[in-house]
Amino acid sequence: MKKLLAFLMVVFAVVLFAADPNTLVDATIGEPDTLDPHLAYDTASGEVIYQVYENLIQYKGSSLNEFEPRLATEVPTVENGLIRDGGKTYVFPIRKGVKFHNGNDLTPEDVEYSFERALLYNPSGGPVWMLWYSIFGTWDVTMFVEDLTGKSWDELFDEEGNPVPGAEEVFKQVYDAVDKAIEVDGDNVVFHLARPYAPFLNVIAQGGSWGAILDKEWCIEIGLWDGQPTTWWKWHDQGKEESPLFTQMNGTGPYKFVEWDRAQQKVILEANENYWREPAKIKRVIIWGIDEYSTRKAMLEKGDADIAYIPTQYLDQVRGNPDIEIIEGLPTLSVTVLGFNWTIKEGSKYVGSGKLDGNGIPLDFFSDVHARKAIAHVINYDALINEVLKGFGKRVPTALPEGLLGFDPSLPLYDFNLFKARQELMQAWNGEAWKKGFKFSVAYNLGNEARQRTAEMVKMYLEMLSPKIKVDVVGLQWPTFLDATKRGELPIFILGWLADFPDPDNFIFTYYDSKGDYSSRQGAKFREFVSTPMEELGGKSLDELIEQAAAETDAAKRAELYAQVQKFVVKYAISVPLYQPIGVRVHRKWLKGWYPNAMRPGDDYYAYWFEGKE
């Protein structure tokens, strides 16, 4: 009864908006994790940010390697003289006459502040590592402090978290170095890279929220970093909900932020009528996270939703509708992977007793390669792809998607094999895992049926192996799920990765390097393992091999290095690739203007218009 009541409330509410031909309703799953561009690192957040904020440049249509100006008036190239010093200097002329949504003028100082705030804020688990790596060749501000001054970050603070004597000088040194790397020169903003980095334009292009341009004056007014050289440490790694940008937005983009109703997982945007280009044709956008598939389907069929997330296993249910358009076979630069936490956070509620006593698992249970391989063999990959995804996915041997340099289809794939799973468990923890049994939970984000089915497979097939094995499956709201993975609470996590920029390093580094974005989710023992020199890697660590591959300019040599990395990854089952999605798009036929781009986090509502919606 409660489910029926909730369904009727959603449908009634949305009809009020959908009846308006100037309103677009996008029925999706989940909601944003944050609206702060420098912390947002998920597509739900990125889609909202994409509409409200703008970057210096954007991709040209569906291309992944051609760019157009956005808040810059030119795309830097060697030919136009805006890429200089052998690829270490990039000059961006900043567009005049652009206003933020609050009426403030865009200035080059806003651009400078935006990137400097990102680099110094540098939140854990966020996307800003890309800016540090692109510009400075390091991974975060704490490492930069040590590289620059020889002092560790912790040395700068006493037990109460207050700066020790002399720390202020270090803060200023860091600020001065960042300020020198990003400087205003008249109407231009100039970036000075520590070394040439070819994907730099990809990193900062529209679609990457970390390259969004903020209003400096407004940011300071609402409580962000005040722009002073010695105060930035106060805002470094500020908590998600402590950031003033968590639920506030003020960009220059085609849509203005109106409301984020977290109770209903609903974001409302309205057209910016003072937009520097022509105002958007569709005047109001509602991005609504509706986890119940049947509700989304009903809304789409009735025309109450213009766009809806339809899981591929249900496509046939809407395929015959003459008012619905389905676009299939879209290329993606994305993978979905089952990852392991090798050192689960103390106090996690997902590990039972926390001991190998038949009622839980120890916090480092998945640091054992046999425990990881057992999981790899209890997933029915063909059923997942053919029955759940309805063929809209393909297997890949590692977290590197087909279409990028280094992809190797000859690498072995893990097979669904319960005999092998049993053999691996009998070796895990010197046989104690099999002898005593164990219990843990597998979580998934609500509304994602492929991840739900994967979690259910882990439960079903593990429990088939022995009555001493118990697995609970837990569905969580997207922000809750994401936070639990970031805190290192989940023993197993199922997450996708959409390319930040189209380069193999963006996937290999993310999943397998001790400094990658998913490193914190995989725990201390994972980081120790991949950062330890190995004889089979020629005396190098996996980290070193990954970073050597990223720096290699010869494509053939780079591919060889990635092959070596991937063979190691497969051998030790560092994670389990589930599938590379094959894209599909579903919307009402009256919606016009949609175009694909594998780097875009969702829709580009500015490109759309309606024909025949009344």
- pLDDT per position as a tens digit, 42-61: 999 999 999 999 999 999 99
Three-class secondary structure of residue 382 per DSSP: helix
Identify whether the C-beta of residue 343 lies closer than 8 Å to the C-beta of residue 524. yes
Query: How many CB atoms lie under 10 A from the CB of residue 582?
Result: 19
Q: What is the pLDDT of residue 6?
A: 44
Q: Average pLDDT for residues 325-334, to the nearest whole number?
A: 94
In which residue are the tokens 């879209």 written? 330
Identify whether the C-beta of residue 581 lies closer than 8 Å to the C-beta of residue 336. yes
Q: What is the pLDDT of residue 2?
A: 38
Q: How far apart are CA 119 and CA 454, in angstroms?
A: 37
Please state the φ and ψ torsions of residue 75, each to the nearest 5 degrees: -90, 125
Identify whether the C-beta of residue 569 lies closer than 8 Å to the C-beta of residue 577. no
Rg of the chain over Cα atoms, rounded to whole angstroms, equals 24
- Token pair recorded at residue 333: 């630069």
Q: What's the burial of 578, exposed, middle or buried (CB within 10 Å: 0-12/13-18/19+)?
A: buried
Q: Average pLDDT for residues 551-577, to the nearest whole number?
A: 93
Q: What is the DSSP letter of 509?
A: H
Q: What is the pLDDT of residue 16?
A: 52
pLDDT tops 90 at residue 423: yes
Q: How far apart are CA 348 and CA 460, in angstroms?
A: 23
Categorize the per-residue pLDDT at 520 as very low, low, confident or very high, splitting at 50, 70 and 90.
Answer: confident
Q: Average pLDDT for residues 288-312, to the nearest whole number?
A: 97
Q: Average pLDDT for residues 213-217, to the nearest whole number?
A: 98
Lowest mean pLDDT among 218-227, 363-372, 500-509, 526-535: 500-509
Identify whether the C-beta of residue 269 lies closer than 8 Å to the C-beta of residue 258. yes
Closest CA to 253 of 215, 302, 218: 215
Helices (H), ranges, 267-399: 293-302, 369-376, 381-383
Q: How far apart are CA 586 and CA 306, in angstroms?
A: 9
- Token pair recorded at residue 185: 């020169």
- Token pair recorded at residue 413: 């794939």
Q: How far apart are CA 356 and CA 174, in angstroms?
A: 46
**pLDDT digit string (tens) for 75-119?**
999 999 999 999 999 999 999 999 999 999 999 999 999 999 999
Q: Between 273 and 13, whose confidence is greater? A: 273
Helices (H), ranges, 279-322: 293-302
Q: What is the pLDDT of residue 198?
A: 82
Three-class secondary structure of residue 475 per DSSP: strand
Q: How far apart are CA 77 and CA 65, in angstroms?
A: 13
Beta bridge partners of 288: 27, 266
**pLDDT digit string (tens) for 231-244?**
999 999 999 999 99
Please state the φ and ψ torsions of residue 527, each to the nearest 5 degrees: -60, -40
Which residue type does 522 have? Q
Three-class secondary structure of residue 389 per DSSP: coil
The percentage of the chain sitting over the pLDDT mark of 90, rounded to a whole number, equals 91
Please state the φ and ψ torsions of residue 181, each to the nearest 5 degrees: -75, -25
Q: Average pLDDT for residues 64-70, to the nearest whole number?
A: 93
Closest CA to 289 of 531, 554, 26, 50: 26
Beta bridge partners of 27: 288, 308
Q: What is the pLDDT of residue 567?
A: 98
Q: What is the pLDDT of residue 65?
A: 84
**pLDDT digit string (tens) for 461-476?**
999 999 999 999 999 9
Q: Tell me the domains of the chain and their CATH numbers.
A: 2-31+262-330+582-610 (3.40.190.10), 54-219+226-237 (3.90.76.10), 334-579 (3.10.105.10)
Query: H or E element: which one contains 421?
Result: helix 418-427
Instruction: Give the count of alpha carbons within 13 A of 401, CB side only.
Output: 25
Please state the φ and ψ torsions of residue 10, each to the nearest 5 degrees: -65, -45
The percentage of the chain sitting over the pLDDT mark of 70, rounded to a whole number, equals 97
Categorize the per-residue pLDDT at 36 as very low, low, confident or very high, splitting at 50, 70 and 90.
Answer: very high
Q: What's the burial of 485, exposed, middle or buried (CB within 10 Å: 0-12/13-18/19+)?
A: buried
pTM of the model: 0.81
- Token pair recorded at residue 357: 């006593």
Q: Average pLDDT for residues 494-512, to the nearest whole number?
A: 92
Q: Average pLDDT for residues 329-349, to the nearest whole number?
A: 96
pLDDT tops 80 at residue 13: no
Query: Under 8 Å CB-to-CB from 263, ≥6 apart: which residues?
Result: none
Beta strands in 449-598 (DSSP E): 469-476, 492-498, 575-581, 583-588, 591-592
Q: Average pLDDT for residues 425-432, to the nearest whole number?
A: 98
Q: How far apart are CA 596 and CA 582, in angstroms?
A: 13
**Using alpha carbons only, what angle is made at residue 26 by residues 20 and 28, rounded to the nearest 5 degrees?**
150
Q: How far apart are CA 69 and CA 255, in angstroms?
A: 18
Q: How far apart are CA 332 and CA 582, in angstroms?
A: 6
pLDDT tops 80 at residue 230: yes
Q: How far apart are CA 535 and CA 538, in angstroms?
A: 5
- Token pair recorded at residue 153: 């970050």
Q: How far apart are CA 181 and CA 192, in angstroms?
A: 5
Q: How far apart are CA 484 and CA 262, in angstroms?
A: 18
Q: What is the pLDDT of residue 554?
A: 82
The mean pLDDT value of the chain amounts to 95
Identify whether the C-beta of residue 443 lies closer than 8 Å to the C-beta of residue 451. no
- Token pair recorded at residue 219: 């940011």
Closest CA to 314 of 322, 326, 323: 326
